[in-house]
Amino acid sequence: MKKNHRLAAICAGLLQLAFVELAILAPLPAGAESASTAITEVKIDNFTFAPQRVTVKVGTTVTWINEDDIPHAIAATGKSFRSKVLDTEDKYSFTFTTAGVFEYFCSLHPHMTGTIVVETTAGGGAAQ
């Protein structure tokens, strides 16, 4: 039994090390990353959208995940998207097909706000 506890402690320590290493090896994008993933997650926890501001390319699906223990709902200020009420662990996805700055808030707690910045993919029609 004691051995298991020690093993668990060692595992946790190793995991922590791995995370630290990842953080060092993966510097923050400088804004010029090319092949970013097409799916982005925004977590909702403790009355906060995290990250609060996300920059994506046109065509990206953003998924909000409610990790809080109370319900939240997502509503675009410009009414371009709106989720149903999300209970804990519920998700809502929206695919951004047009460029622009999309402000949104929680329709249950309007002081909770976030921004999705959608950029055009073209750097001058390079994909042709």
Burial class, 60, CB count within 10 angstroms (exposed 0-12 / middle 13-18 / buried 19+): buried
Nearer to Cu ion, 99 or 105 (CB): 105
- Residue from 72, 86, 114, 118 touching Cu ion (CB under 5 A): that is 72
Nearer to Cu ion, 58 or 63 (CB): 63
Distance CA 92, CA 41 (A): 10
Nearer to Cu ion, 93 or 119 (CB): 93
Contact between 43 and Cu ion (CB under 5 A)? Answer: no
Distance CA 31, CA 74 (A): 26
Q: Which positions from 82 to 111 touch Cu ion by CB under 5 A, shown as an x/- string?
A: ------------------------x-xx--
- Residue 71 corresponds to which amino acid? P
Nearer to Cu ion, 43 or 109 (CB): 109
Distance CA 12, CA 29 (A): 28
Residue labelled with tokens 């909000």: 64
Q: List interacting residues with Cu ion (CB under 5 A).
A: 72, 106, 108-109, 112
